[in-house]
Amino acid sequence: MLWEISLLVIAIAFLLLCLSAIPMLLQVRKTAKSFELTSKTLNQNLPGILTNLDEITTNLNQTTQTVYNQVDGLKNVVEKFHDIADDVVDFERNIRAEIEAPIMDTVTTVTATIKAIRAFVDAWRSK
């Protein structure tokens, strides 16, 4: 009899365990269906997403190449302006070297001539 009561208690405990596991199993089933739906949606949309991603990558590469070419072109323009600035500075130095000496000689000559004229006028007045 003790044996039968123990078996009955174990059977009731097992039944309660099974009954308490039913909500958990239902939730697992519901989660599995939700995962299946999400998986189907992802499988349907993924090729389009990957195509868009490829297009974005291609556009980004083209944009990067265009920017690189534009920067390279600007580099050439800046180098040309630098060369022109160097040429202007060289031209100014050459002009200064060519004109400065004759102008200084002329100023010296004019100054000497003015001093000579003053000396002549001063000498003539004092007679």
pLDDT of residue 113 exceeding 80, the answer is yes
CB crowding 92-105: b at 16 or more within 10 Å, else e: eeeeeeeeeeeeee
DSSP letters along 63-125, please? HHHHHHHHHHHHHHHHHHHHHHHHHHHHHHHHHHHHHHHHHHHHHHHHHHHHHHHHHHHHHHH
> pTM for the full model?
0.44
pLDDT of residue 19 exceeding 80, the answer is yes
Q: What percent of the chain has pLDDT over 90?
A: 31
In the chain, domain spans: 1-98
pLDDT tens, residue by residue, 49-103? 999 999 999 999 999 999 988 888 888 888 888 999 988 888 888 888 788 778 8
- Alpha-carbon Rg of the chain, whole angstroms? 51
Supply the pLDDT for residue 100.
79
